[in-house]
Chains A and B, each alone.
Chain A
C-alpha cells in the first residue's frame, strides 16, 4: 500500500487532489478483499472499504413499506418528529396484508394508507397488486448494489437481485423515512454453495428447508448469507427469490446472490437495468465461512409443525394426510411456483375431501398464469383460487385454519397458530410437493409424477 502511494507521489505528472483520492481509494479497495455485503455497505456508507463487525451508517437507496407496518405506524412518528418523508422518490408503498378488506378496521387501514401516500407525494404506490416482495422487483425497482430496507421480515428477498435488503420494524422505518439513513453492523458472510444439478422435482424451497433443518432457524446468526455455486447460477430469478426470502427463516439479516447474466436479462425485461453490475460480487480472497452442498443429493423436503427447522426428506411424512393444501405467499405462489405445481397436477385431480387453495403472489403473475393456461390446469384439477395477497400466510384475515386442521403449505413459516387455530398443524413443502400431495391425499414425493 505504501509503495503504491509512494509511486503515485513520484509520477512525473502532478495529480489533482480528486484524482489522487480516486486512485488512492481504488488502491485501498484492491488491497483489501471484500465480500459482496461489505462492498454494498461500503458504498452506502460512502467509504472505500468497511471492516466486518464495525458499525456503519448507510444511506438508504430504497425503502419499502406495506399497509400493516407502514403508514398506520410510521405516520404518527413522523408527525411527532415534525418531518415528512426524506425522499418520496425512494419510497415504495404496497398494500398486501389487509387485502382484500374484510371489516371496518381493515378498511380504515387501507384508507389511511391511500391518504398518506397522497399527502406524502409517494408515486410508487401499488395498491392490491400483490405481495410486496414480488411486486417490488417486478416493477424494476431493485438493482444490484442497492442498500435497501423493507418493513417486513421477508425483505431479504431483494437480495436475489444483488441488493443488500433487510427487514426492520416500523419505528426504525420511521427513522429511515425521517433521515434517509440507518445503522448497520457490517456482517460476516456465510456462503452457501450448491454445485451440480438438482434432480427434477427438487426446488429452491427444498434447498431452504434443508438448510433450516441442518443448521437451525438461527443458522444465519443475523449475518449475511450468500448463495453461490453453479447449481444456484442455473436457477431462475423467482427461484433465487425463494432462497433469499427464506434467509429470514434461516435467521440471517439478508440473503444475497451476486448478479449475473440471468439477473441482467430479468431486469431488462422489467423496466430496469443492472448498471455496472460486474463489480457486485465477493472477492475470492475475502473473509467468509463456506458450506458446500451437492445438488444431486438433495431430496424434496418437508418441515413438520411448528418450525421450518423441523425439516427432513419427504419420504418420512407418507403417513400424514393433510386436508388443506395451500399454494400461497411470496415464498410459494410466484409464477414459477404455479408453473411447477401445474406440471404435476396436469391431467390429475385433487383427491376428494381435500381442498387445494391457490393464492397467486401478484396480479402480474396471475395474469401470466392465466395466459399460459397454468391457472386453468390448477382449477381443472379442483383448485380454488383465492385473492392475491398475503392471505393465509400472514393469518391477518378471516380465512384461517380451523382447530385440528392439517395443512401442507408452500409458504415460509409454520409457527404455532400463525395460519389459524393454535391446534391446527402446518407442514411446509415445495409447490411441487404440495401438488403431488393434492393428488394422492398423503404427503408425497413429486418425483413419482415426473417419471416420464
Chain B
C-alpha cells in the first residue's frame, strides 16, 4: 500500500461528531462521508482526493466509538491520518479498518496542501514540499501485519481459515 498525498490540516480535539455527524449515522456510507469534517472545513469532503492525508492536532478522533468516523475518511480515499495524539478508540478502529494512523509530535510544521509521504516502517513522514523529514512513533509489528492484511476482518479470516479462532 502506498501512502502519499496532499495534506488537509485540522486543529486539536477533532471529535467523532465532526467525522461522522450523528444525524447521518443511519445513512449509507457515501452520504455520511459527504458530511465528514464539513463543519470544520466545508471544502474537505468536496475536494479531498484519493491518497490525501489528514493532519490533526492533539487527540484527533476524540469521543464516540462509532467507527464510521474512520470509515468516512476511508470512503473519501484518505490514505493516512497524522497527529500528535489520537482518541484511543479512534486509533484502534483505524487499524481494525485498515487506515494508517501515525503519531507525530511535529505536525505544526505541516501546512495545508503540503505533499506528504509517510513511511510507517521507518516511523517517519517526508514532507516533499518543504524537504523536511518528521519523526513518528513506530507502529507495533502485529498492527502493521493487520494493516497489511487490510484490517481486522481479513486478518481474522486468514486466521480462521488456518483453524485458529
Q: Which residues of A contact B (CB under 8 A)?
A: 55, 68-69, 73, 77, 80-83, 86, 98, 105-106, 109, 151-153, 155, 167-172, 174-175, 178-179, 183, 216-218, 221-222, 248, 251, 253, 307, 309, 394-396, 400, 413, 415-418, 422
Contacts and interface: CB of A to CB of B under 8 A. Distances in A.
Contact of B70 (A69, A169, A396, A415): A169
Contacts of A178: 156, 160, 165
Contacts of B62: 217-218, 251
Given A169-B89, A395-B22, A218 B67 contact: no
Contacts of A222: 87-88, 91
B66 A169 contact: yes
A83 B160 contact: yes
11 contacts: A69-B66, A80-B157, A83-B160, A167-B89, A168-B93, A170-B67, A178-B156, A218-B62, A221-B85, A251-B87, A417-B18
A109 B26 contact: yes
B65 A82 contact: no
A172 to B, nearest CB: 5
A220 to B, nearest CB: 9
A372 B65 CA distance: 35
A248 B18 CA distance: 17
Contact of B152 (A175, A253, A309, A395): A175
Contacts of A109: 26
B21 interface: yes
A217 B65 contact: no
A105 B26 contact: yes
A417 B17 contact: yes
Contacts of B97: 169, 171
B148 interface: no
B142 A55 contact: yes
A179 B156 contact: yes
Contacts, number: 121
Contacts of A415: 15-18, 63
Given A169-B65, A169-B70, A172-B152, A417 B39 contact: yes
B22 A169 contact: no
Contact of A153 (B39, B89, B151, B153): B89
A217 B13 contact: yes
Nearest to B97: A171
A81 B64 CA distance: 26
A82 B153 contact: no
B23 interface: yes
Contacts of A400: 23
Given A153-B64, A251-B87, A179 B165 contact: yes
B127 interface: no
B25 A77 contact: no
A109 to B, nearest CB: 7
A422 B39 contact: yes
B67 A81 contact: no
Interface in B74-132: 85, 87-89, 91-93, 96-97
Contacts of B156: 81, 175, 178-179
B22 A82 contact: no
Contacts of A413: 15, 63
A246 B25 CA distance: 23
B7 interface: no
Contacts of B152: 171-172, 174-175
